[in-house]
């Protein structure tokens, strides 16, 4: 017997066909095929370095996903049941296609190398697949580890959101070092728009003594935002340690028994409920998009509002023209502001590096590079890192300000017009190591030779003078003069060598700072171009959507003006009938467990 949500979904697909919305029809058919698949896809999402991969490892008690400071998930990684451990990289049939389409090739790789090879081939690999024998996965559960949201090192970051449309449930991961950020709350709301079956997992509680206070603040945040998501605190490190030692108390302390029970109860054992909720979300969204133009059409064809319909047409045309004018305006604003931003950030970086060089010159006008060079090298690296960090922070603030300024040039300004993230996360990279200058030693034999060379003139000069008084050439006076001249020669040679060491140290520091400036300024320019492209694509898409909406309204109004009275009445009757059907269908969708919204005729 077919589940009840299948009939509702099929009727919604039929409504999309009737109302000529092939885009909605394709989306719903893809959702239908997914829901009939016995597999349950659980997406693990979150920002970078929150412990997503380690969470998957701890759930399965197996190191299937590589973790570490220098390892990052760059493509979605599907972990599912298999009789024997295996791994493969999957390439898609066509660039930009869905990650669930039939792949052109599937390349087997060693299971312990799958993350590393996926990162190396991330431009061509659409996903990684890992199969292991685990009871948790035996029921058809598929855990999907995703790239960090906003992680521009991965060319497949956008695939996280494509995968989200196909998820049956979502585990949103946030570590216990702080409460949920505004970016994470925005991500959570966006996730729930596509998949209402969300559980928030707070990781790394073993590292934060006050994790319980963080969890309570997170619960309060979710309650204030009206987000009905469960929140479960866990420690992957404690879970894996307990699995190795067989310590049941430590395992309970890790929080994973609660998480596994939630997975079994709310996901594996509630597949029908998950399907009903997911279908309710996508069907409600589709019906709402069908109802909006239908209502506009009914209003436009009201025989008692013919004059108003003409005004609607004129207003729609005016709004289209206004949108076109504003499109040129926001593009000029974006180009001008980004040019100013890159120029200002480069000037700020140059100013900071010059201040560092002036401090270097001041230091080595007096200090000896042969003494304390290691401390100076550490000081220089710390100051360059501080300059880069401050400069990058300013770049982030200005980029957000530019995005808000461009958004205000749209006909209707809303906060959601501003993209959530426009910056790469990997701008700050270590510069080359400071080269130690060549320091000439002034050894004892060299000092002795220099002293003898200088004393020769003193002995000879004063010996000749005293010889006129009848004294021998070598006497007390000439020897004393030779000693003075030799000592002065040693001091002069020491001063000259010190100046050469100071000049070499300044030159080495200058070269190092110049290398740092060239590298980081290029990173700044690259980041600026990335920001500009991201904002341009984002706002171009918004402008196209607004224009398409306005043009559709204009076309509806134009059809209403051209139709005669009889045609208008006929279409009004048919429209009301279709609207009533959609409202009835919407109520059936809500009965499946969708969002508590009201839609009336």
Sequence ranges of the domains in the chain: 1-36+283-301+573-601, 39-269, 310-437+503-572, 444-498
- Asked whether residue 486 carries a pLDDT value surpassing 70, the answer given is no
Give the pLDDT of residue 48: 84
Q: Which residues contact 216 (CB under 8 A, 6 or more apart)?
A: none
Pairwise pLDDT comparison (570 vs 398), residue with the higher score = 398
- Asked whether residue 31 carries a pLDDT value surpassing 80, the answer given is no
3-class DSSP state of 364: coil
- Asked whether residue 521 carries a pLDDT value surpassing 50, the answer given is yes
Summarize pLDDT for 556-569 with one digit per residue, the tens: 766 666 665 566 66
- pLDDT winner (highest mean) among 156-160, 184-188, 301-305, 522-526: 184-188
In terms of Cα–Cα distance, which of 164, 163, 77 is closest to 117? Answer: 77
Confidence class for position 44, pLDDT limits 50, 70, 90:
very high
In terms of Cα–Cα distance, which of 215, 224, 209, 212 is closest to 174? Answer: 215
Total Cβ atoms within 10 A of residue 239:
25
Summarize pLDDT for 344-389 with one digit per residue, the tens: 888 888 888 888 888 888 887 777 777 877 788 888 888 888 888 8
Total Cβ atoms within 10 A of residue 305:
14
CB-based contact 12:585 (threshold 8 Å): yes
- Rounded to the nearest integer, the mean pLDDT of the chain is 77
Give the pLDDT of residue 601: 45
Q: Report the share of the chain in percent with pLDDT over 70.
A: 74
- pLDDT winner (highest mean) among 89-93, 199-203, 397-401: 199-203
Q: Are strands 40-45 and 77-81 parallel, antiparallel or unpaired?
A: unpaired
Confidence class for position 508, pLDDT limits 50, 70, 90:
confident
Least confident of 19-33, 153-167, 505-519: 153-167
Give the pLDDT of residue 600: 44
CA of residue 219 relative to chain centroid, distance: 25
Least confident of 27-36, 128-137, 166-175: 27-36
Give the pLDDT of residue 211: 92
| Assigned token pair, 333 | 């604003």
Mean predicted confidence (pLDDT) in 520-536: 83
Pairwise pLDDT comparison (452 vs 269), residue with the higher score = 269
Query: Taking the model in full, what pTM does it have?
Result: 0.50
Summarize pLDDT for 225-275 with one digit per residue, the tens: 888 888 999 999 999 999 898 899 999 999 999 999 888 888 887 777 777
In terms of Cα–Cα distance, which of 19, 52, 45, 393 is closest to 188? Answer: 45
Least confident of 498-502, 506-510, 539-543: 498-502
Confidence class for position 313, pLDDT limits 50, 70, 90:
low
Confidence class for position 597, pLDDT limits 50, 70, 90:
very low
Least confident of 38-47, 164-173, 239-248, 550-559: 550-559
- Asked whether residue 171 carries a pLDDT value surpassing 60, the answer given is yes
- DSSP letters for 155-196: TTTHHHHHHHTT-SEEEEEEETTSPPPHHHHHHHHHHHHH--
In terms of Cα–Cα distance, which of 267, 100, 272, 142 is closest to 197? Answer: 267
Give the pLDDT of residue 28: 77
- Asked whether residue 213 carries a pLDDT value surpassing 90, the answer given is yes
Summarize pLDDT for 240-252 with one digit per residue, the tens: 999 898 899 999 9
Confidence class for position 418, pLDDT limits 50, 70, 90:
low
Q: Report the share of the chain in percent with pLDDT over 90.
A: 9
- Asked whether residue 289 carries a pLDDT value surpassing 50, the answer given is yes
- pLDDT winner (highest mean) among 316-325, 484-493, 524-533, 587-596: 524-533
Q: What is the C-alpha separation between 74 and 160, in angstroms, rounded? A: 10
Q: Considering the domain delimited by 39-269, tell me its CATH architecture.
A: 3-Layer(aba) Sandwich (3.40)
Summarize pLDDT for 79-107 with one digit per residue, the tens: 999 989 999 988 765 544 445 444 468 88
Q: What is the C-alpha separation between 229 and 583, in angstroms, rounded? A: 28
Q: What is the C-alpha separation between 46 and 176, in angstroms, rounded? A: 13
Mean predicted confidence (pLDDT) in 154-183: 77
């Amino acid at each position: 017997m077919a589940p009840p949500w299948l009939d509702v979904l099929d009727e919604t697909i039929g409504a999309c066909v009737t109302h000529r919305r092939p885009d909605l029809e394709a989306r719903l058919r893809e959702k239908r095929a997914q829901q009939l698949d016995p597999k349950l896809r659980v997406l693990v999402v979150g920002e970078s370095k929150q412990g997503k991969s380690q969470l998957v490892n701890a759930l399965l008690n197996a190191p299937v996903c590589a973790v570490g400071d220098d390892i990052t998930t760059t493509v979605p990684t599907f972990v599912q049941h298999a009789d024997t451990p295996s791994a493969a990289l999957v390439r898609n049939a066509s660039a930009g296609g869905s990650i669930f389409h039939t792949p052109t090739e599937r390349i087997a790789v060693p299971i312990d190398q799958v993350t590393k090879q996926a990162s190396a081939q991330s431009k061509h690999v659409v996903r990684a697949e890992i199969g292991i024998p685990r009871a948790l996965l035996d029921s058809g559960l598929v855990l999907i580890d995703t790239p960090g949201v906003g992680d521009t090192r991965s060319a497949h970051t956008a695939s996280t959101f494509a995968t989200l449309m196909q998820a049956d449930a979502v585990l949103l991961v946030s570590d216990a070092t702080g409460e949920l950020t505004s970016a994470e709350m925005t991500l959570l709301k966006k996730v729930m728009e596509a998949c209402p079956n969300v559980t928030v997992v707070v990781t790394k509680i073993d590292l934060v003594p006050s994790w319980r206070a963080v969890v309570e603040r997170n619960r309060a945040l979710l309650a204030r935002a009206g987000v009905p998501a469960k929140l479960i605190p866990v420690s992957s490190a404690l879970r894996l340690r307990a699995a190795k030692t067989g310590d049941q108390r430590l395992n309970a302390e890790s929080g994973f028994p609660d998480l596994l029970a939630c997975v079994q109860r709310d996901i594996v054992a509630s597949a029908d409920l998950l399907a009903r909720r997911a279908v309710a979300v996508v069907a409600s969204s589709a019906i709402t998009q069908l109802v909006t133009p239908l209502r506009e059409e009914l209003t436009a064809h009201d025989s008692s509002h013919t004059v108003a319909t003409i005004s609607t047409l004129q207003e729609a045309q005016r709004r289209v023209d206004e949108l076109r004018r504003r499109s040129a305006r926001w593009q000029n604003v974006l180009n001008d502001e980004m040019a100013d931003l890159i120029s200002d950030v480069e000037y700020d970086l140059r100013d900071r590096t010059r201040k560092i060089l002036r401090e270097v010159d001041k230091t080595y006008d007096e200090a000896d590079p042969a003494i304390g060079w290691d401390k100076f090298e550490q000081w220089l690296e710390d100051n360059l890192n501080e300059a880069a960090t401050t400069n990058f922070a300013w770049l982030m603030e200005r980029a957000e300000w530019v995005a808000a300024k461009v958004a205000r040039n749209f006909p209707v300004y809303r906060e959601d017009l501003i993209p959530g993230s426009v910056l790469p996360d990997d701008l700050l990279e270590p510069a080359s190591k400071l080269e130690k200058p060549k320091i000439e030693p002034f050894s004892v034999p060299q000092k002795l030779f220099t002293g003898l060379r200088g004393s020769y003139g003193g002995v000879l000069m004063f010996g000749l003078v005293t010889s006129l008084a009848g004294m021998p050439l070598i006497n007390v006076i000439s020897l004393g003069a030779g000693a003075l001249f030799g000592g002065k020669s040693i001091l002069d040679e020491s001063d000259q060598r010190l100046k050469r060491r100071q000049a070499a140290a300044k030159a080495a520091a200058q070269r190092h700072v110049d290398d740092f400036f060239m590298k980081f300024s290029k990173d700044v320019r690259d980041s600026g171009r990335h920001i500009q492209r991201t904002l341009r694509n984002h706002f171009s898409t918004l402008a196209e959507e607004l224009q398409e909406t306005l043009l559709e309204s204009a076309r509806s109004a134009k059809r209403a003006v051209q139709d005669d009275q009889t045609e208008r009445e006929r279409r009004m009757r048919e429209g009301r009938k279709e609207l009533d059907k959609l409202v009835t269908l919407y109520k059936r969708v809500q009965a499946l467990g969708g969002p508590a919204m009201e839609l009336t005729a």
